[in-house]
């Protein structure tokens, strides 16, 4: 694939590396079909450039460092990277869960993240159980004032609602899509019921049908070990990988008549309409 010409894709910010992992040695990766190279200069500032087929390097690209990642763009974003208010709360634990590459569309990954109906079958005995397979009705909307997709009043029975818990319960969930290649989940924190844990998935589309992604978590959890938090999230993510890499078509269909939605797909319908 060559670099996309779709301005709607080019003019967004994308997380392309974990800040702590970026050093002075150049790292080669891809974004939207374009080779890019990134490293830190002698002042520790990220430098990101396009690398063309003849090996010639382009001028430095725009960059930001937020949420534990280095972000860049191949276009001219109309706004800054979306806000995660929980990232500024100093008592939260920040848990970056590592990058996973998969042969799947980045848009498919967002849709999978929004889908509660697969919990009892793909994440059995963790995020769902076959005895509680129904998805109660919830509200999905495109919030025009912020240009984001939200799904609220979501409720679902989960056998393990977090790494700290071993008992099942109905949990309240809220989903947010602030960027076509980023998606978030807010859930009531088991150890502090008046607050919400925030989990984000940052997706780097390497090609149309190849991407890598990293979940990051902002948790109110003073009990769990770092290893147990990583294992809990990585098990879920790798279970999703099996499903995502076997979906057909690989790309997300945007023509409404190509797939038949159900009531549980309300957030997916809003997301497809939005993009």
Q: In this structure, what CATH number is given to the domain that contains residue 64?
A: 2.20.25.680
Which neighbouring-strand residues pair with 100? 213
Q: Which backbone phi and psi does 135 adopt, to 5 degrees?
A: -100, 110
Q: Scanning the structure block, which residue is given the tokens 């998805």?
A: 135
Same domain? 204 vs 237: yes
Same domain? 124 vs 216: yes
Same domain? 45 vs 147: no
Region 161-184: mean pLDDT is 81
Nearest to 92 by CA among 18, 241, 196, 168: 196
Average per-residue pLDDT for the chain: 87
More confident residue, 38 or 157: 38
More confident residue, 160 or 50: 50
Would you state the pLDDT for residue 156? Answer: 73
Would you state the pLDDT for residue 244? Answer: 84
- Residue 77 falls inside a structural domain: no
Same domain? 40 vs 148: no
Radius of gyration, CA atoms only, the chain? 19
Kindly report whether the global pTM for this prediction surpasses the value 0.85: yes
Would you state the pLDDT for residue 127? Answer: 63
pLDDT at 1 over 90: no
pLDDT tens profile 65-116: 999 999 999 999 989 999 999 999 999 999 999 999 999 999 999 998 998 7
pLDDT at 214 over 70: yes
Same domain? 137 vs 35: no
Q: How many domains does the chain have?
A: 2
Q: Whats the size of the chain, residue-wise?
A: 275
Same domain? 144 vs 59: no
Would you state the pLDDT for residue 178? Answer: 97
Same domain? 24 vs 122: no
Same domain? 186 vs 225: yes
User: CB neighbours of 186 closer than 8 A, spacing ≥ 6?
Assistant: 173, 174, 175, 176, 196, 197, 198, 199
Range of the domain at 112: 85-274
- Residue 214 falls inside a structural domain: yes
Region 134-157: mean pLDDT is 88
- Residue 30 falls inside a structural domain: yes
Cα–Cα distance for residue pair 172/188, rounded to 1 Å: 6
Would you state the pLDDT for residue 185? Answer: 94
Region 263-271: mean pLDDT is 79
pLDDT at 162 over 70: no
Cα–Cα distance for residue pair 196/155, rounded to 1 Å: 14
More confident residue, 88 or 155: 88
- Residue 262 falls inside a structural domain: yes
Inter-axis angle of helices 266-274 and 106-114, to 10 degrees?
150
Q: Which of 84-88, 183-187, 248-252 has the lowest mean pLDDT?
A: 248-252
Same domain? 188 vs 260: yes
User: CB neighbours of 217 closer than 8 A, spacing ≥ 6?
Assistant: 93, 94, 95, 97, 197, 198, 199, 200, 229, 233
- Residue 182 falls inside a structural domain: yes
Same domain? 112 vs 237: yes
> Residue 139 belongs to a domain with what CATH number?
3.90.380.10
- Residue 190 falls inside a structural domain: yes
pLDDT at 262 over 90: no
Same domain? 51 vs 93: no
Same domain? 89 vs 58: no
Region 147-170: mean pLDDT is 75
């Amino acid at each position: 694939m060559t670099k996309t010409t779709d301005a709607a894709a080019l003019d967004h910010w994308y997380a392309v590396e974990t800040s702590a992992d970026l050093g002075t040695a150049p790292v080669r990766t891809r974004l939207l079909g374009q080779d890019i190279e990134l490293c830190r200069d002698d002042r520790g500032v990220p430098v990101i450039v396009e690398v063309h087929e003849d090996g010639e390097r382009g001028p430095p690209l725009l960059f930001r460092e937020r949420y534990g990642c280095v972000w860049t763009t191949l276009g001219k974003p109309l706004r800054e990277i979306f806000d995660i208010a929980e990232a500024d709360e100093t008592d939260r634990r920040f848990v970056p869960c590592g990058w996973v590459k998969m042969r799947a569309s980045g848009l498919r990954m967002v849709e999978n993240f929004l889908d509660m109906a697969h919990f009892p079958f793909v994440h059995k005995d963790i995020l769902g159980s076959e005895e509680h397979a129904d998805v109660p009705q919830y509200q999905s909307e495109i919030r025009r004032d912020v240009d984001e997709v939200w799904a609220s009043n979501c409720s679902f029975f989960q056998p393990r609602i977090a790494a700290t818990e071993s008992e099942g319960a109905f949990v309240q969930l809220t989903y947010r899509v602030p960027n076509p290649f980023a998606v978030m989940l807010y859930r009531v924190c088991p150890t502090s019921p008046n607050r919400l844990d925030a989990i984000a998935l940052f997706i780097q589309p390497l090609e149309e049908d190849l991407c890598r992604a990293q979940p990051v978590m902002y948790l109110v959890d003073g009990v769990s070990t770092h290893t147990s938090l990583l294992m809990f999230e990585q098990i879920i993510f790798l279970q999703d990988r099996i499903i995502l890499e076997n979906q057909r078509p690989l790309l997300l269909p945007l023509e409404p008549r190509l797939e038949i939605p159900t009531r549980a797909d309300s957030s997916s319908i809003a997301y497809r309409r939005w993009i």
